[in-house]
Amino acid sequence: MKKINVITIDGPSASGKGALSRKIAHNFGFDILDSGLLYRLCAYFSNKKINLDEIPKKINSEVSFKLNDELVSVHYKKKDITNKLRTEEIAKIASQMSAKNETRKSLFNIQRNFYTESGLVADGRDMGTVVFQDAKLKIFLTASSEIRAKRRYLELQNLGQEVNMPALIADIEERDLKDSSRELSPLIPADEAYVIDSSDMSLEEVFSFTENIVKKEFI
Ligand code: C5P
């Protein structure tokens, strides 16, 4: 299989995939795909009673993604809806919808279209196993559920959202179980993925470990 200039970063919720992807994209001049945001958009549109078969067209024509200062924001009809997508409520609906074949199929081409010659960092659950099987480098990033809940807690607090820690741990564990045990595109490392447990590592440490692999593979 011909390999393309893609780095896939898969892993459970709040394992640090987003922060690592943004840092790699920023430092190496790669584009970025946060595929979770696409599933969250499906949930957002379905809350607005928009049919699933209309969603890809809407995403292609009315939604834009911007990477500013290492943060990805989502704009719909020129309004920034990032904070509306980054709630646990939307995440739950996204997780339910993501188990359905129609949802995954409808997002497949949109995800592939993020690829450009300048390279792409793709973050999600099935980037290395399904969407970019032909990626040059695959990473699976994980961490204990307590650590991930703490990271998500800080993230949500920074977005000004109220959070209840026990409920958050329960939500994260429930979502992980659903994502890993579903029949379609379950959350599992690709055979050739580097598996990194970041429970005891800072973002800087994870970045410096991956930076070396990226340099070896891409430069
Ligand atoms: O990564 P994030 O938490 O934003 O993803 C929200 C949900 O979307 C996940 O819990 C998962 O169910 C789904 N998802 C997926 N495949 C991906 C990315 C996200 O099924 N590649």
| Ligand 1: nearest atom to the Cα of 18 | 1
β-strand partners of 123: 9, 34
Confidence of residue 68 (pLDDT cuts 50, 70, 90): confident
Confidence of residue 67 (pLDDT cuts 50, 70, 90): confident
- pLDDT for 69 equals 72
Confidence of residue 71 (pLDDT cuts 50, 70, 90): confident
- Are 104 and 66 contacting, i.e. CB atoms less than 8 angstroms apart? no
Mean pLDDT of the residues in the chain: 94
Span from the CA of 219 to the centroid of ligand 1 (angstroms): 30
> Measuring CA to CA, how many Å separate 23 from each of 15, 69, 219?
14, 10, 17
The answer to whether residue 54 scores a pLDDT higher than 90 is: yes
Span from the CA of 12 to the centroid of ligand 1 (angstroms): 8
> Measuring CA to CA, how many Å separate 120 from each of 17, 83, 144, 184?
14, 24, 27, 24
| Ligand 1: nearest atom to the Cα of 97 | 12
Ligand 1 contact, 36 CB (< 6 A): yes
For residue 7, the SS3 value is strand
Lowest mean pLDDT among 6-10, 110-114, 119-123, 157-161: 157-161
The answer to whether residue 208 scores a pLDDT higher than 80 is: yes
Tell me which residue has its CA closest to atom 9 in ligand 1: 95
- Domains of the chain from N-terminus onward: 4-205 (3.40.50.300)
Tell me which residue has its CA closest to atom 7 in ligand 1: 95
pTM for this prediction: 0.94
Reading the block at residue 7, the tokens are: 């780095």
The answer to whether residue 11 scores a pLDDT higher than 80 is: yes
For 89-146, the pLDDT digits (tens) are 999 999 999 999 999 999 999 999 999 988 999 999 999 999 999 999 999 999 999 9
- pLDDT for 188 equals 95
Among residues 142, 175, 168, 172, the alpha carbon closest in space to that of 153 is found at 168
Ligand 1 contact, 171 CB (< 6 A): no
Confidence of residue 155 (pLDDT cuts 50, 70, 90): confident
Ligand 1 contact, 15 CB (< 6 A): no
